[in-house]
Amino acid sequence: MTTTAISRALRHPGWSTAAWVLLSVAPVVYGWAILAALAGVLPARVALAAVGAGPVLCAVLLVRLALVLPHGACRGAGMLAMGSLAAGAALVVLAAVPHGWGARLLAVGFTVSTALCLLGLLMLPGTAPSWRIRLRRLLDGFGIGISVFYAAWLLVIVPLEGDGLGPSGPRALLAVLVWLIAAMALACTVLIAARAFRYRRAALACGAGVALVLLGQAVLVVLVLLHAAPAAQFAAAAGTVLGPALLFLGASRTGTRTDTSGVAQPSSIAGMPLLSVPVALAVVATVYHLATVGTFSAYSAGVAVLVVLTVAGREAFAVFDVRCYAAELAEQEARFRSIVAGSDDVTMVLDECLIVRWQSPAAARRFGLSDAEVLGRPFSALFHPEDAPSLAEQLRELLVDPPDARVLVSGRLRDGFGTWRFTESSATDHRNEPAVAGWWCICGMSARTGNSRIRSAG
């Protein structure tokens, strides 16, 4: 009952109107708050709290949008709304916590916002249709992100410290954890958005919004730890305002017929080794660090262990994915064979050169044709010498200009007993389907006589 009441209240148009009005005046409020903070009239944290109201308002709009979208799209928009709300709430509450806890509060808000935003991206229509593909996207992103972070840590951050071991201490640990999460989350975001097979523009817009939100929060945590100037903190917080706006624009395009562009639907098995380059970069960074420094700090060793565990987990899941995919193929093949074996239709598969590569068991029952007599021979060679030239020419025309509809080809077919039978075959172009990769022909008896002919079946 409580959930229904809240849902009805959020559906009221007054929420949307109020949120849009507040968002329209928000830039003016932000501008005055930031100027007042830079002039020393207003504390910087109060100005950041004013900036945090923007993501909260965008979260209200996203919730309103989620209530009117279809089921699949509403879950993604709702999760993105919660991610935007977590980012904005951390900034709003920042003004009320002690100064020593500001970075920790922002780190907690960043972690919660990251988890919710990634779940929202995965739940958007067209990004990842099954749990296995969603898990693979996350494991690929984690592996890429942590490998790149590890390489950057050894090649850039550690040399900047000068002692060869890199930064240490509680503040450094918090910064390392935040940017480790940020690197993995950003890699996941790029993979999820780039590999969307439907509503791709919407996924790219939402991915850009998530990236802005995550980058803004991660940079802001480090700047607060370093007690950076307020101007730098305001610039970093801008990402938490622009990002939710992109989230709303992208989520509003999901689940509609206005944006159906994309790539082919992904299979349940990985198509390319995404981790090859990042892992190779991590190995090169390790060799370089051992050659120049010779030892690892606790942070470097910890990140190295995480790299190994992440890559091992991803490869273990890849093995499981391959086994599941093979089981699905075996099940589909068994189902197909059971259907074809019990059918009275004589079915043949022709390749690009119109050579018979497969025939159904019904060919032996109806025409007495064995595989040895048919497989590997041109389809036209099975017909009467008077019909074969014309039929071969007509089939070659099909290769040049394949029709959209089924095509009927008729002629006298020699059966396994030496008798010429008048047949009519329907041919369908399936060359773009990997499972067939050729022409699908169904042969049947015909009561008509005469030379072979071809016409569209409609």
Dihedral pair phi/psi, residue 128, rounded to 5°: -150, 105
The answer to whether the CB of 121 falls within 8 A of the CB of 91 is no
Mean pLDDT across 214-236: 90
> What's the pLDDT band for 271 if we cut at 50, 70, 90?
very low
pLDDT for 3: 43
pLDDT for 24: 64
Instruction: Work out the burial of residue 96: count CB atoms within 10 Å of its CB; fewer than 13 is exposed, 13-18 middle, 19 or more buried.
Output: exposed
Mean pLDDT across 390-406: 70
Cβ neighbours for 150, distance < 8 A, ≥ 6 positions apart: 282, 285, 303, 304, 306, 307
pLDDT for 90: 92
Cβ-based neighbour number of residue 109 at 10 Å? 25
pLDDT for 6: 41
The answer to whether the CB of 196 falls within 8 A of the CB of 126 is yes
Better-scored residue on pLDDT, 106 or 315: 106
pLDDT for 15: 52
The answer to whether the CB of 207 falls within 8 A of the CB of 193 is yes
Question: From CA 10, how far away is CA 171, in angstroms rounded?
Answer: 41
Mean pLDDT across 310-336: 83
Give me the helix-helix angle, 200-225 and 102-123, nearest 10°: 170
pLDDT tens string 370-383: 888 888 888 888 88
The answer to whether the CB of 379 falls within 8 A of the CB of 399 is no
- Least confidently predicted of 90-94, 180-184, 441-445: 441-445
**In one letter, which amino acid is 92?**
V
The answer to whether the CB of 447 falls within 8 A of the CB of 412 is no
CA end-to-end span of the chain:
55
The answer to whether the CB of 44 falls within 8 A of the CB of 37 is yes
Q: What is the pTM of this model?
A: 0.70
Residue reference for tokens 């959020």:
10
Question: From CA 308, how far away is CA 311, in angstroms rounded?
Answer: 5
